[in-house]
Chains A and B, each alone.
Chain A
Amino acid sequence: MVDRRPWITVLSHLVMIVGVLIVAFPLYLAFVASTHTADAIVQSPMPLLPGAHLWENYQAALFGSGKLGSNTNVMHMMWVSFVTAMVITVGKIAISLLSAFAIVYFRFPFKMLCFWAIFLTLMLPVEVRILPTYKVVAELGMLNSYAGLTLPLIASATATFLFRQFFLSVPDELVEAARIDGAGPMRFFKDVLVPLSKTSVAALFVIQFIYGWNQYLWPLLMTTSEDMYPVVIGIKRMLAGGEAAVDWNIVMATAIVAMLPPAAVVMLMQKWFVKGLVDTEK
């Protein structure tokens, strides 16, 4: 950088540090709150340094303490969230890869119609679709099940478009060389297209996993039994204490635990992004 004004570097660093602090501070507070007793938190001012009850709070949160608020085992809710997020992610990626493949590499009747139909679904927000979807899921008897939690969320137009754009950039000669080598369409898909799409798949994996993990409206609507609640709903239900005081320390501990898997996915996948960005060349 040929910048002869060092104060701009200082300024930009300052802005970024302030930004990080603003974003990270609530997380820090949540962590601190999860290490104190419930009474210590509600006193004002709220303590700013971690307390001594970390292990017992997390134990209580993860394995159920039989106290007020939700009685649910957070470990089980984490499991529900994890399965939901993974199924949505893997399902979305698989379906979008295949539909983008069909749209880009095949000619079939009503192809343009299908393409525009997929595109149109982007224009319908969730809130518009949610009641009809609920009705269909209820009639199929999928309420309160993993299938109901995941299937309606699997089809994705954005992922299809992302892969379509990527496939359009694959040179035609690769397809021709594969044809001459004797590779049929699915062979070509499996041996050439999918390996080349690794970066896009990694990027989509992260985005969709977090999307699936954070699902709130749909699970809230269609699950009624506690053992099908994802963890984000569990957290909310802990706050529905009614007359009793809320165990904020347990709630915060649960929140921190709930944040860990998405954070882990982002960190693990980062390696793949960077590798993919560095490796691009056809």
Chain B
Amino acid sequence: MASITLKNVVKRYGTGKTAVPVIHGVNADIKDGEFIVIVGPSGCGKSTLLRMIAGLEEVSGGDISIGDRVVNNLEPAQRDIAMVFQNYALYPHMTNFENMAYGLKIAKVPADEIKQRVDKAAKILELGHLLDRKPRQLSGGQRQRVAMGRAIVRQPKVFLFDEPLSNLDAKLRAQTRIEIQKLHNELGITSLFVTHDQVEAMTLAQRMIVMNGGVMDQFGTPEEVYNTPATTFVASFIGSPPMNLLKNAPGGKAGQILGIRPEHIDIVASGGWEMQVITVELLGAERLVYGTVGGEMVTVRIEEAHSFPKAGDTIRIQPREERRLHWFNAETGKRI
């Protein structure tokens, strides 16, 4: 187990004048034993960042340290890490036991210790009866567990997960998510988990790094990211349905964007703002009212049991509390 320190980490593809920067200086201090989620849309650089920490991509600038060592120039095998890939990356011609044992075999760990470690990992992941089969005989979820077993037996300082749940169906995703959480509670190894799914991020993270266009927009706990988003991007990315962002909010100053989450708006009899209802959707336990306020789209979330407007109605809405209002600079997108 070790801490990870990212100091001004930069990644460029190509060299010289035509180099394309994809990561523009990320700074983060990750404590020993933390479960960190790196979340962001496709192309934001999260996988690239993870791969730089793993040693699969070269670092163009800045330092990456695992524990006290700067690992920029170390091969992946020397960094004491283990990685779980999106496509499992199991060796198809080896049995599951051999898959998990391969890294240890190369490190010349004695055979009985290998067996001990693999059996222990298999027990934690409930794979004991599958050790003699080949990966192709397993389901997707089982394969991912073998991949996790391969990571566990290495007893690394850091676990790296590269969108490991993206290839699983929805139900399996939820199950495996819980298993990953259990694993972290049991083993307590520093973990970095990359995903584009904000639900995974909110449920798994002790702290999360929200990335956008190669820049780290915010690094905080799920509560912080949800309650005090640092930029308009974080505000609209975290939370479903996404936060309403109004450029010309009633009562707002010019050059400022008001953010208010759909779940923090009430429908009132009088006062507040006027909203033209366009459509209402029933989602089971809640209803989403879509409409316009001063020409801008607004979404309001109301409980299913409450009375609700129809399309074409004019209603009045009001933010529930002052503290639920978020103000952002319209130019920079940053929180005021």
Contacts and interface: CB of A to CB of B under 8 A. Distances in A.
Interface of A: 171, 173-174, 176-183, 187, 191-192, 195-196, 279, 281-282
B106 A187 contact: yes
Contact of A179 (B56, B88, B136, B150): B56
A196 B90 CA distance: 12
Contact of B106 (A174, A183, A195): A183
A282 B83 contact: no
B267 interface: no
Given A176-B56, A281-B136, A181 B89 contact: no
Interface string B84-126: 0111111111000000001100110000000000000000000
A180 B147 CA distance: 13
B96 to A, nearest CB: 14
Given A176-B56, A177-B85, A182 B103 contact: yes
Contacts of A177: 83, 85, 89-91, 150
Q: Is the interface of A mostly helix, strand, loop or mixed?
A: helix
Contact of B76 (A179, A187, A281, A282): A179
Nearest to B83: A180
Contacts of A173: 85-89
B54 interface: yes
B171 to A, nearest CB: 23
Contacts of A179: 55-56, 75-77
A196 B103 contact: no
A173 B87 CA distance: 8
Contacts of A281: 92, 136
Contact of B54 (A180, A187, A195): A180
A181 B151 CA distance: 9
Contacts of A192: 91, 93
B118 to A, nearest CB: 14
B82 interface: yes
Contact of A181 (B88, B106, B136): B106
B71 interface: no
24 contacts: A171-B87, A171-B89, A173-B87, A173-B88, A173-B89, A174-B89, A176-B76, A177-B91, A179-B56, A179-B76, A179-B77, A180-B81, A180-B103, A181-B102, A181-B103, A182-B107, A183-B77, A187-B106, A191-B91, A191-B102, A192-B93, A196-B93, A279-B136, A281-B136
